[in-house]
Structure 1
């Protein structure tokens, strides 16, 4: 009886010590989340690689009041070859897109005063049935309330488009920057950005006569109001 009591007493003490030890143990501190890497920045020529030449890059700097632009990873970035393939594919399948659909290049400058200045360039294309009276028409520039368009036709052996059934390419530029200088002041720069990208696309696709685009944006026809 005494021996049994001693064994029970020893077991009880051991259990108490285990409980106390467990209750007093400290948990491991939770690991801190890894800090997000800082975004990479580069020049305007580097974004959406191949779309902007010197004239377009300089205009984009004036529009966004920035000389550094965010470089996006391959998932979100756009390059000239991807634009050309997309436009060619839409012509071959006959699947057209609206002005704010298709391929999009986003240009984001350095944040300023808690705001990120950015603009969007949309590139869409479709088959265009050209009537007899339209054959000699060249590029057209159109301005709206908060955006501008540049439209031109591309006859290209690579695409399979012709003068009678060209690939119509439409570029739409939207300035999303807060506190911008005003569309009327920046309109020549908007046109220069679109013209630079349009020339690059026309060269990549092999558009005959560069789609009727002049060498300089200043030589494009005057813009007309959006209908």
Structure 2
């Protein structure tokens, strides 16, 4: 029989479960939370900025359906950092990730961050090693370990951008990846980055979503 304890409340004696039973009760009420409860699906990552296609792409490149729960608030923070840097006339900036997607029990991890850049042609005619050019935004590059997406934003939230559009760089990086350099992998990485970047430019109020379509259109260079 399960052990019970008794407490007195205004002279009335009431049984209260103790020991393991109390722990189970707390867990059921959200006080504990099992390991599985701490896992989230791809669509819940990156402040819910991933489209259904991007969520599927994330699961494909990380070969998982559930991930460690990343911290919230990255979208608001990244937009604020871009606005502050633009107001301070910063030229090229780097920031902590908008989101970090980690695989439980693995070294596999993706970081997605945003900053400003001041180069007219981000990569020009040069294709960095392991990256392939795509005609997306102002320019995009993608490979099995990283992807870049460059856009130009005109927004009331970015002072003077009507005369000098703010140049924004989105970057996706693997800390560990053995993915092959295939079209499918490159497009999956860029699908994820496109979705998060689209959320950023919408948050900033960029005109015409900074040239990004609702869904990525892949035009290799």
Using the size of structure 1 for normalisation, the TM-score is 0.65
Residue 93 (structure 1) aligned with residue 88 (structure 2): yes
Query: C-alpha distance in 1, partners of 2:177/2:151?
Result: 30
Equivalent residue number for residue 170 of structure 1: 169
RMSD: 2.8
Equivalent residue number for residue 55 of structure 1: 53
Of stretches 50-59 and 187-196 in structure 1, the one that deviates more from structure 2 is 50-59
Equivalent residue number for residue 196 of structure 1: 195
Structure 2 residue ranges without an equivalent (≥5): 1-33, 122-135
1:195–1:138 Cα change, 3 Å: closer
Answer with 1 or 2: which has the greater Rg: 1
Equivalent residue number for residue 128 of structure 2: none
Of stretches 177-186 and 155-164 in structure 1, the one that deviates more from structure 2 is 177-186
Q: Deviations over 1:156-178 (max 9, x none)?
A: 01222424311111111122334
Q: How many residues align?
A: 172
Match of 1:84 among 52, 63, 79: 79
1:11-160 alignment, distance < 5 Å: 40-73=38-71, 77-98=72-93, 101-104=94-97, 105-111=99-105, 115-126=106-117, 138-143=137-142, 146-160=145-159
Q: Which one has the bigger helix percentage?
A: 1
1:128–1:97 Cα change, 3 Å: closer
Q: Deviations over 1:169-225 (max 9, x none)?
A: 1111122334324455400001101110111111111100010112221x2542x5x
